[in-house]
Amino acid sequence: MLNHLGQKIRELREKQNLLLRQVAAKLEVDTALMSKIERGERNASKQQVIDIAKILKAKEDELLTLWLADKLESAVGDENHLASDALNILKKNLKK
């Protein structure tokens, strides 16, 4: 399973030449947790994603969209054959 949010966080952090521990300190979490978030071994909370966006001067909506995509992909699990139909139903309901 891909880790869209973690990959983007790492990309943004590295572009700004920030160390993992620097971002973790600003987020007020330990470096190990920040590392797990980047690797997709731990999910960030919505508030943490908002805070990370501020720290990395990123678009909040972009990071929240990746966060939600990771959550949806995790919920789908290995039900890939049904996921597309389920997402289509969800899209229709969201348009209402």
pLDDT of the residue at 73: 86
pLDDT along the chain (96 residues), means of 10: 88 97 97 96 96 98 95 82 83 82
DSSP state of 28: T
Query: Residue 24 CA to chain centroid, in angstroms?
Result: 15
Which pLDDT value is given to residue 47? 97
Task: Tell me how far apart the 2 most distant CA atoms of the chain are, in Å.
Answer: 44
The residue extents of the domains of the chain are: 4-95
Q: Which residue is associated with the tokens 């971002």?
A: 23
* pLDDT at residue 37 in the model: 96
Q: From residue 55, how far is each of 6, 61, 67, 87 by CA, in Å? A: 15, 14, 16, 32
pTM of structure = 0.85
C-alpha span between 21 and 63 (Å, rounded): 20
**Which CATH number applies to 4-95: 1.10.260.40, 3.40.50.2000, 1.10.3720.10, 3.90.650.10?**
1.10.260.40
